[in-house]
Structure 1
């Protein structure tokens, strides 16, 4: 064990001595590329019920235009059909519609003629156009996907044409995240759409039965779903909202819950050896990092934000906290989002940041001194009940103290914490937000646009650099992968220097499934498809 790893392990052991977890094992094997699984063997037989847990807690909304959280997005993809969909290995394919890129500035969607909403009425081109126009409203998280769109029009009985002000190389891949709602129902529901009282009307393989706030969400199989070959194996799925790692581990190991995605790292040691089911790791564009929530106060200093990059031994964090199921990360876009044919170019640029941001307490102390830091509290917000976040935050707090920084940890209830990701009023008094983030499409453009373009929902510090904006805009308008990658890398050289996003580790999707079931998609592509439809009994 290296000296820095031993120090981190000692810090975490002291900080979590009363933890209910199975404990930290420094010799846990690291998860390698060969360990990653995209999906489990296909299910063959139906089951009565699947009990699935949402480890991030209760969704804040099921309104598809704002369901950007782990929990909300996962549930919605089972209820509402997306226009396009992903395969477990991240290939895009038609779903509710097929598409044709007629020209760089025109995309034609042709809708299936046999799709129906749960109430039996047909899904029409008007419903699709309404859904897309609604999603483009700046009030919704989904609006970023429509940044280049000039119009969405019904141009035939089953046809919708999307016109662009300029070419958009990102748009088509994001259509796996655009799910269709019934226009009449949505207009009547208004602001209550996707709430426990407002409900939904969609065409997906499951129907929303009941959302009992604070307890569960229940959905049932839609036996009239147009895709007969992919109708759910389960008659009913009940989603629970357990967030605390020890409770989740106990429930999974006892068979009280059948499965869960994005399990807390604290559950890994116990669930790796569980006889109740199988723990798997899948490819994922997710990261854990600290977002600067405000550039006022102590974090107004560029040097102080730069110091935060140097106080964490990311390798030790990945090994000790995540038990090898994560890897160190030094830029805000993980390697899993790099286009394969441009990997060498991205990796060369990445290595420079890895060198600049490596663990170096002496360098951090110098930056703290240069910043003129006055020993004020730096408030770091985490989600209540998330043991992984708690342990990571305590490590950050301890390591920051060694270079003279005072980190104060603020625990937020899961629902308020989820809202803080897009509602500035929930971030008042917070300097840093420790959070997991992800891209729907494995493309660097998605996350950097959300984080570094003006007026975007996750640009908490109002970062606005004209050259970054130009380069990201040009990259999005460039279909040539090599040219697009070069523009992204050039923009990265600028926006990463702002230190408004402090990456820590790149994550795998961690899934547990009870032995009585199979068929689960275990890459993060699950989030963009009706993942519960594929889970069923293995058969004899």
Structure 2
């Protein structure tokens, strides 16, 4: 645990009694940001998708949040103190922390928010973020009441959180939007409807004023936000952009200031013709086809799973299909992304494409498929409606057909439909779904493969030895030994093949030159409160 996180203090420099009316009249500053597919929810305790997090982080804050470069910072907390044994976190709330209705943010609101995240009734995909806290795991399993969570309001401005054991990544979790603070009275008054325009009370720099299904989410600056004087943009439009091609056209027409992504077919054009707007960013992210290991034949056929993995040429997929400069994925945790962590690259990664193909054919025969054996399966590949995703699905299906005689069936659906299907493991065979790390630690990827993670374990993968290794890493206080245990766990999971990795994401997007302070970062978060528009 670094000295930086032993004690943090924030100097409060806002002028007392600041109100929006004290500012001189200026023309409204507006930004329009593409967010890809439509969110399923903007409830911070139920959100799961990247675009949901982008909206949430504009409207809500937690004790910690992200700075302009995607690093952890103090937010609603003015100070954080960690006990010498690393198990007790004490936070002092800012004196000027207020909700968008002008009421103070209290320790009681923080306690309520954490209890709501852990409550099984909330159905939060991030409920496991409460597991490091005393009784967190038992609460999410329905064995204890949310009120028993190891968090207490010492006084109106002091929050104390008690962990089961030292957890090095806990501060990283606290900066995630799922650990945002909501107003207890607001949620109790409106229930699930508290996120609707006109009812929402926000704790962050913006508040929702309009939500158009399949259209946009309009946010307005929160005048009661503690750092409102430094927020330069008055109005934010988070625009739903299901089609990358359409989004590209909207940007070229001046209808968007920033895109969610860029069609693969436009990478070269944008790089040559729009160099000031073209923003490639290596993201702490991996894309893969999850294999539904709750269903046959995938559940009982490791050789079949490995054969399909070997026949999918990740180098071709990454560099030729996704785009030049894209990193092929041989591991789940992106390599060279976490200092001290050595990615366990599988032995097969060093084989030539021809050698992998030969090995794949041998495995298919050993599994009893092909001529004289069982008929080859026809896996359905489910992916969200997006031109880039379709290109990858078509390419991998062609590889399997040519090399193994496996005929895949393509199935594209709306992004939020695919996400819900992934949570419920309701897809037939395989599902194309990326994962962006929530904080810079291997465990943010590996937790998705724990057998006790209900929703985000998209493959339904279960291996007690994997769980044991991750548990051991949680109690290991030596950083190098902890990372070594996580590498062992990842190596084990990679041998079990619950997924077919394709690439580590290099996000290619367009950002208008007039948008200032857009700082590329591995977490791919760009809170609007730090952005500005050149006049």
TM-score using structure 2 length:
0.84
Of structures 1 and 2, the one with the larger relative CO (CA 8 A, separation 6+) is 1
With over 3 angstroms needed to count, the CA separation of the structure-2 counterparts of 1:189 and 1:421, relative to structure 1, is farther
SS at match of 1:186: helix
Corresponding position of 2:429: 431
Distance (Å, rounded) in 2 between the aligned partners of 1:273 and 1:47: 33
1:258 corresponds in structure 2 to: 257
SS in 1 for 2:396: helix
Contact 2:276 2:513 in 1 (8 A): yes
Query: Is the CA contact 1:511–1:522 (under 8 Å) kept in the aligned structure 2?
Result: no
Q: 1:58 Cα shift?
A: 1.1
Q: CA deviation at 1:176?
A: 0.6
Query: Is the CA contact (8 Å cut-off) linking 2:514 and 2:534 kept in structure 1?
Result: yes
> Residue 81 of structure 2 aligns to a residue in which SS?
strand
**Measured at CA, do residues 264 and 101 of structure 1 come closer, stay the same or move farther in structure 2, by a change above 3 Å?**
farther
Aligned to 2:234, the other structure's residue is in SS state strand
Aligned to 2:243: 244
Question: Separation in 2 of the partners of 1:336 and 1:68?
Answer: 25
| Paired residue secondary structure (1:141) | coil
What is the deviation of 1:275?
4.1
| Shift, 1:229, TM fit | 5.3
Aligned counterparts of 2:105 and 2:97: Cα–Cα separation in 1: 6
SS of the residue 2:219 aligns to: strand
- Classify 1:207/1:453 alpha carbon distance in 2 versus 1 (closer, same or farther; 3 Å): same
Deviations 1:76-103 (A, max 9, x none): 1001113212345553221111322113
Q: Is the 8 A contact 1:249 1:271 kept in 2?
A: no
Residue of structure 1 equivalent to 2:464: 466
Establish whether residue 354 from structure 1 lines up as the match of residue 349 from structure 2: yes
Counterpart CA distance in 1 for 2:452 and 2:224 is 44
For 1:31, the equivalent position in structure 2 comes to none
2:509 to 495, 502, 511: 511
Q: Deviations over 1:400-419 (max 9, x none)?
A: 11212121111112221122
| Aligned residue runs from structure 1 range 257-296, under 5 A | 257-275=256-274, 278-296=277-295
Q: Does 1:408 align with 2:404?
A: no
Separation in structure 1 between the aligned mates of residue 348 and residue 88 of structure 2, nearest angstrom: 38
* Structure 1: distance between partners of 2:519 and 2:249: 23
**Counterpart in the other structure of 1:389:** 389
Q: Structure 1 residues 473, 209: closer, same or farther in 2, change over 3 A?
A: same
1:80–1:203: 8 Å Cα contact kept in structure 2?
A: yes
Mapped to 2, the partners of 1:352 and 1:114 lie a distance apart of 55
Partner of 2:323: 323
1:209, distance to aligned residue in structure 2 (A): 0.4
The secondary structure found in structure 2 opposite 1:234 is coil
Match of 1:68 among 48, 65, 68: 48
Q: Structure 1 residue 306 and structure 2 residue 309: aligned?
A: no
Q: Which residue of 1 aligns with 2:164?
A: 165
**Equivalent residue, structure 2, for 1:370:** 366
Cα distance between partner residues in 2 of 1:255 and 1:276:
16
SS of corresponding position for 1:307: helix
Comparing 313-322 with 258-267, which one deviates more in the overlay? Answer: 258-267
1:451 pairs with one of 435, 449, 453: 449
Q: Which one of 105, 110, 115 corresponds to residue 128 of structure 1?
A: 110
User: Quick check: 104-113 or 222-231, which moved more?
Assistant: 222-231
Q: Is the 8 A contact 1:144 1:450 kept in 2?
A: no
The SS at the match of 2:529 is helix
Aligned mates of 1:267, 1:329 — CA distance in 2 = 23
The match for 2:181 is: 180
Counterpart Cα distance in 2 of 1:525 and 1:461: 23
RMSD: 2.3
Residue 259 of structure 2 aligns to a residue in which SS?
Answer: strand
| Cα deviation digits, residues 291-343 of structure 1 (max 9, x gap) | 112442332311111012111221222222222242011111112542x2x24
Paired residue total = 481
Equivalent residue number for residue 486 of structure 1 = 484
* 3-state secondary structure, aligned to 1:400: helix
Q: In the alignment, which residue of structure 2 is the partner of 1:81?
A: 61
Shift of 1:454: 2.4
Query: Residue 132 of structure 2 corresponds to which residue in structure 1?
Result: 148
CA distance in 2, matches of 1:270, 1:326: 17
Contact 2:40–2:416, Cα closer than 8 Å, also in 1: yes
312-321 vs 453-462, greater mean Cα deviation:
453-462
Q: 1: distance between equivalents of 2:261 and 2:128?
A: 25
For 1:93, the equivalent position in structure 2 comes to 73
Match of 1:225 in 2: 225
Q: Which residue of 1 aligns with 2:212?
A: 212
Cα deviation for residue 260 of structure 1 reads 2.0
Q: Is the 8 A contact 1:472 1:487 kept in 2?
A: yes
TM-score (norm 1): 0.84
1:537 aligns with 2:533: yes
- 1:433 is displaced (CA, Å) by 0.5
1:182-223 CA distance string (max 9 Å, x none): 1111122323343x5795321211111011112111011123
Q: 1:391 to 1:210 in 2, by over 3 A?
A: same
Kept in 2: contact 1:88–1:523 (CA 8 A) = no
Moved more, 453-462 or 406-415: 453-462
C-alpha distance in 2, partners of 1:317/1:46? 47
